[in-house]
């Protein structure tokens, strides 16, 4: 049994095996889980000799698939983290490494050579001593141990091919060995920022003037973008980001092994749109609550990062225990350590704090030498790096990678004698994604935590904190470029007039300790306090405030919080923005049948997007597909409409609430017409998809989650069923705390809470988590898909920490001994 979020936990029961009183949640969940319940005495035990291990160790996998690693020293803990990650996720982490390093073609053939070349543009190629020196002092040894552990398991698989995951057999490939530098040099697994938006803003400015961009992206604090002097917005080619898309996108496979080329404009637009949707959907919720506002009198911390939905899951929960180290939580399976969770003394969580960390630079080339670009009063020569790309079944390919002083050259416009390069914090020492989390794992108090937070590079984050003494806090973190003379919203000439003046000190970014409200919450919204010195210096492009507003609304009405209240808020399906727009329908009427049906359902809609709601079905189709396009068609000049597309729903809502001359001579009347006409169009679409009877409509019949294994395209039908996790009806929306971002072509969820956790700070065994669709990457494992239904329904499993609780919930035990 896995706990459902609704209903207070008040009953107590005695778990005799554990020998102490637990809440109904912990005691029941320990005893029974998805048919896997076994006492410690019935746990499966496997003894394995492990080359490279320094001392005997143990891994206990609990009934929810969480590995608890017990080692005699910290080196072995990280070694076994790598070994275990390979045991459970070898295909996934091997594929991530090959993608990041640009080594796909060596395993999968020539169709991946272009993606390899693009990926290599974004690797860290600076001084490695400076890179290692930018992190917590023990990071290098941890990475070396982790890589050694992965390699030990790879050797085990190669010696015993029956252990090879099915995806390798389907792709006729093998896993490769790792080095610590491989882990830290890969940057393209980090989260991108606004370079795609910079390009679109320039293209809108070329088509119809920069004012026409207002509905495409809401800017906070409010600012009128200014094109930099010397920039011709019409000089930006539509496909300028082709290498950027290739170098940052996930690896895909098809049955015929051929990859669609980005040279095809239609395919490029599709994949760029997918990247932009991924950027928009990336986010999280988190909050930390002081003891004065909890029913337990202990602090509470919760977080649920929103990322792409995939199988295996993006996150992996793990517990590391060794002398001087005891931490549990989640991180990316290909990295040592955890990025969210707790140790004995403190807890920590994260959401994205979207600092503007990248810019597109435009260069005038020397007509007599295309490797030289104008800089100040003369020309500089690009740095050229020649590399060989190994190709399976063919000869290796030699490629030249070009770099300016600002970064990799991602596009050359030979016809117009221009080049374009990406400047990003990725290329600075210390910006390997999530690699700075070691400081949190070792922190014992707020000062330790803040020191680690102030040195954090990427991705930029809202970091929340709570400790066993009852303290809570927040620190915004990440490398923040200093732009002295432009707003960062458009591409800039690369001739020396627009340079970063280093990064701001981490101590300059906002933070709070023990806030008077008794809590702090973030949801990727603009949250730099007014009056702060960086209020208008860090970024202008933030996530919608809808999730944050709903979270604040709930905190305003609830004075005392239980763990289940945090669980309920993480799975809260109310769209604050949707409710706000629906209010505009209140005075409207229509005799048109479809419009009248829409008004009946949506006029009094409370914003809830539950799976069984007919009103949510109509409202979401209306808000995501029809309303924005209707407003843009009227308010945006025709040449820019295709670029602005459906617009930013927050900007659309602002215009509808306060209509102006963009809606014509009679803005109020035009607003009413747009609201009614687009609502009618949405009802027609729902009728076509679900039938004409509204009694049969439900949001979950449209909105569904599917977890697709990348290699399923190469599999036969029975294997596809094993690799993929079947469709699950789902509530939630793009704008609710229960974020369930979907594509509008078929309303399939593309991203959401990859991992949820709620921590009872100090009574750690009462904490809870869910990882979707499961912990394991092995389709034959009982932990591959076991958590998906619980995740979809808003249920949780215990995140056990004490040895006695873990022993009682053991599913399998690995007894590991060194092998010389």
The confidence band for 150, taking pLDDT boundaries of 50, 70 and 90, is very high
* Residues pairing with 378 in the sheet: 375
How far apart are the C-alpha atoms of 617 and 626, rounded to whole Å? Answer: 13
Q: What is the pLDDT of residues 462-505, one digit of tens each?
A: 999 999 999 999 999 999 999 999 999 999 999 999 999 999 99
How far apart are the C-alpha atoms of 275 and 166, rounded to whole Å? Answer: 28
**Structural contact between residues 390 and 396, judged by C-beta atoms closer than 8 angstroms:** yes
* Nearest by Cα to 379 from 370, 387, 388, 390: 370
CA pseudo-torsion sign 7, 769, 353, 225: negative
Model confidence, pTM: 0.95
pLDDT of residue 23: 44
How far apart are the C-alpha atoms of 460 and 301, rounded to whole Å? Answer: 20
Tell me how crowded residue 389 is: count the other CB atoms within 10 A of its CB: 21
pLDDT of residue 660: 97
Q: Which helix (H) or strand (E) holds 74?
A: helix 74-101
Q: What is the pLDDT of residues 362-395, one digit of tens each?
A: 999 999 999 999 999 999 999 999 999 999 999 9
Answer left, alpha or beta for residue 531, where phi above 0 means left and psi between -120 and 50 means alpha.
left
Hey, is 209 helix, strand or coil? Answer: coil
> Could you tell me the two tokens for 228?
């930099």
- Tally helices (H) and strands (E) across the chain: 26, 34
Predicted confidence (pLDDT) at residue 38 exceeds the cutoff of 60: no
Task: Say which DSSP state 733 is in.
Answer: B
How far apart are the C-alpha atoms of 151 and 163, rounded to whole Å? Answer: 14
> Could you tell me the two tokens for 517?
């409200």
What is the 3 state secondary structure string of 436-457?
HHHHHHHCCCHHHHHHHHHCCC
How far apart are the C-alpha atoms of 688 and 248, rounded to whole Å? Answer: 37
**Structural contact between residues 524 and 283, judged by C-beta atoms closer than 8 angstroms:** yes
Query: Stretch 12-33: mean pLDDT, rounded?
Result: 36
The confidence band for 598, taking pLDDT boundaries of 50, 70 and 90, is very high
CA pseudo-torsion sign 551, 553, 556, 560: negative
**Structural contact between residues 422 and 410, judged by C-beta atoms closer than 8 angstroms:** yes
> Could you tell me the two tokens for 323?
């002398």
pLDDT of residue 262: 75
Query: Stretch 522-540: mean pLDDT, rounded?
Result: 97
Based on its alpha-carbon atoms, the radius of gyration of the chain, rounded to whole angstroms, reads: 26
Distances (CA, A) of 548 to 193, 543, 545, 770: 20, 10, 5, 22
* Residues pairing with 347 in the sheet: 342, 466
pLDDT of residue 6: 31
pLDDT of residue 16: 30
Helices (H), 173-212: 180-185, 195-208
Tell me how crowded residue 97 is: count the other CB atoms within 10 A of its CB: 22
Tell me how crowded residue 254 is: count the other CB atoms within 10 A of its CB: 11
Angle of the 649-657 helix axis to the 667-690 helix axis, nearest 10: 130
% pLDDT > 90, the chain: 89
pLDDT of residue 256: 67
pLDDT of residue 259: 62
> Could you tell me the two tokens for 7?
């209903």
User: Locate tokens 């010397």: which residue?
Assistant: 230
Chain centroid offset of residue 342 CA: 20
Q: What is the pLDDT of residues 80-137, one digit of tens each?
A: 999 999 999 999 999 999 999 999 999 999 999 999 999 999 999 999 999 999 999 9
Predicted confidence (pLDDT) at residue 21 exceeds the cutoff of 60: no
Tell me how crowded residue 746 is: count the other CB atoms within 10 A of its CB: 11
* Nearest by Cα to 47 from 56, 55, 35: 56
What is the 3 state secondary structure string of 128-164?
HHHHHHCCCCCHHHHHHHHHHHHHHHHHHHHHCHHHC
How far apart are the C-alpha atoms of 317 and 300, rounded to whole Å? Answer: 19
pLDDT of residue 7: 30
Task: Say which DSSP state 294 is in.
Answer: B
Q: What is the pLDDT of residues 731-757, one digit of tens each?
A: 999 999 999 999 999 999 999 998 999
> Could you tell me the two tokens for 368?
């007599």
Q: What angle do CA 474, 316, 781 make, to 5 degrees?
A: 160
* Residues pairing with 464 in the sheet: 349, 474
Taking the CA atoms of residue 132, residue 134, residue 139 and residue 145 in that order, the dihedral angle to the nearest 10 degrees is -10
pLDDT of residue 15: 33
Q: Tell me the average pLDDT of the chain.
A: 93
The confidence band for 279, taking pLDDT boundaries of 50, 70 and 90, is confident
The confidence band for 261, taking pLDDT boundaries of 50, 70 and 90, is low
**Structural contact between residues 45 and 815, judged by C-beta atoms closer than 8 angstroms:** yes
CA atoms within 13 A on the CB side of 280: 23
pLDDT of residue 726: 81
pLDDT of residue 276: 87
**Structural contact between residues 30 and 15, judged by C-beta atoms closer than 8 angstroms:** yes
Distances (CA, A) of 713 to 313, 326, 479, 708, 724: 18, 41, 39, 9, 10
The confidence band for 671, taking pLDDT boundaries of 50, 70 and 90, is very high
């Amino acid at each position: 049994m896995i706990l459902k979020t609704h209903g207070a936990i008040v009953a107590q029961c005695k778990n005799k095996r554990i020998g102490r009183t637990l809440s109904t949640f912990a005691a029941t969940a320990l005893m029974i889980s998805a048919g896997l319940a076994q006492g410690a005495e019935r746990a499966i035990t496997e003894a394995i000799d492990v080359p490279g291990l320094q001392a005997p160790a143990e891994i206990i996998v609990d009934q929810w698939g969480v590995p608890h690693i017990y080692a005699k020293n910290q080196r072995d803990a990280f070694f076994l983290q790598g070994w275990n990650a390979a045991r459970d996720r070898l295909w996934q982490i091997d594929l991530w490494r090959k993608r990041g390093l640009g080594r796909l073609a060596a395993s999968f053939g020539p169709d991946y050579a272009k993606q390899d070349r693009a990926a290599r543009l974004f690797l860290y190629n600076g001084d490695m001593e400076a890179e290692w020196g930018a992190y917590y002092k023990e990071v290098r040894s941890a990475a070396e141990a982790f890589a050694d552990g992965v390699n030990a398991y790879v050797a085990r698989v190669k010696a015993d091919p029956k252990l090879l995951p099915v995806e390798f057999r389907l792709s006729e490939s093998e896993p490769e060995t790792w080095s610590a530098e491989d882990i830290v040099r890969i940057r393209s697994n980090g989260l991108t920022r606004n370079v795609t938006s910079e390009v679109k803003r320039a293209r809108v400015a070329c088509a119809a003037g920069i004012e026409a961009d207002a509905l495409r992206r809401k800017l906070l604090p409010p600012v009128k973008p200014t094109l930099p002097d010397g920039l011709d917005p019409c000089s930006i080619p539509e496909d300028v980001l082709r290498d950027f898309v290739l170098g940052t996108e996930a690896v895909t496979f098809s049955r015929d092994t051929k990859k669609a080329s980005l040279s095809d404009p239609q395919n490029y637009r599709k994949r760029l749109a997918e990247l932009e949707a991924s950027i928009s959907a990336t986010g999280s919720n988190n909050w930390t609550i002081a003891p004065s506002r909890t029913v337990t009198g202990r602090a509470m911390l919760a977080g649920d990062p929103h990322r792409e939905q995939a199988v295996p899951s993006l996150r992996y929960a793990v517990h590391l225990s060794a002398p001087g180290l005891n931490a549990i939580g989640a991180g990316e399976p290909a990295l040592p350590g955890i990025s969210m969770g707790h140790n004995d003394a403190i807890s920590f969580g994260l959401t994205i704090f979207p600092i503007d960390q990248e810019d597109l630079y435009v260069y005038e080339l020397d007509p007599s030498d295309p490797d030289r670009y104008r800089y100040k009063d003369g020309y500089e020569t690009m740095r050229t790096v020649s590399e060989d790309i190994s190709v399976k079944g063919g000869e290796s390919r030699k490629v030249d990678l070009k770099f300016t002083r600002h970064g990799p050259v991602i596009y050359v416009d030979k016809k117009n004698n221009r080049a374009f390069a990406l400047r990003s914090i990725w290329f600075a020492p210390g910006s390997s994604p999530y690699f700075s989390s070691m400081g949190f794992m070792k922190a014992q108090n707020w000062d330790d935590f803040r020191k680690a937070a102030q040195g954090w590079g990427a991705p930029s984050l809202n970091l929340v904190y709570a400790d066993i003494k009852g303290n809570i806090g927040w620190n915004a973190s990440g490398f923040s470029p200093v732009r002295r003379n432009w707003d960062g919203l458009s591409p800039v000439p690369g001739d020396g007039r627009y340079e970063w003046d280093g990064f701001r000190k981490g101590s300059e970014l906002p933070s709070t300790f023990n806030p008077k409200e008794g809590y702090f919450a973030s949801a990727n919204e603009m949250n730099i306090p007014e009056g702060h010195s960086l209020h208008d210096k860090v970024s202008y492009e933030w996530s919608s405030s809808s999730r944050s507003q709903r979270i604040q609304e709930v905190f305003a009405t609830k004075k005392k919080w239980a763990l289940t209240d945090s669980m309920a808020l993480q799975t809260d399906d109310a769209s604050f923005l949707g409710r706000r727009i629906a209010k505009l329908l209140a005075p409207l009427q229509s005799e048109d049948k479809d419009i009248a049906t829409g008004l009946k359902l949506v006029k009094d809609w409370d914003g809830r997007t539950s799976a069984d709601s007919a009103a949510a079905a109509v409202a979401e189709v209306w808000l995501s597909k029809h309303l924005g396009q209707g407003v843009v068609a009227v308010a945006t000049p025709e040449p820019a409409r295709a670029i602005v597309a459906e617009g930013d729903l927050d900007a659309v809502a602002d215009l509808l609430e306060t209509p102006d001359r963009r809606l014509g001579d009679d803005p109020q009347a035009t607003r009413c017409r747009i609201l009614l006409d687009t609502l009618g169009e949405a009802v027609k679409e729902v009728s076509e998809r679900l039938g004409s009877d509204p009694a049969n409509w439900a949001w979950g019949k449209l909105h569904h989650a599917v977890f697709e294994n990348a290699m399923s395209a190469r599999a036969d039908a029975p294997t596809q069923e094993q690799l993929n996790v079947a469709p699950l009806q789902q509530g939630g929306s793009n704008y609710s705390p229960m974020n369930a971002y979907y594509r509008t072509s078929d309303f399939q969820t593309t991203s959401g809470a990859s991992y949820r956790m709620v921590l009872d700070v100090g009574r750690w065994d009462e904490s809870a988590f869910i990882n979707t669709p499961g912990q394991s990457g092995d389709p034959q494992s009982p932990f591959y898909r076991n958590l998906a239904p619980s995740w979809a329904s808003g249920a949780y499993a215990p995140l056990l920490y004490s040895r006695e609780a873990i022993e009682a919930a053991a599913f399998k035990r690995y007894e590991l001994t060194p092998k010389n």
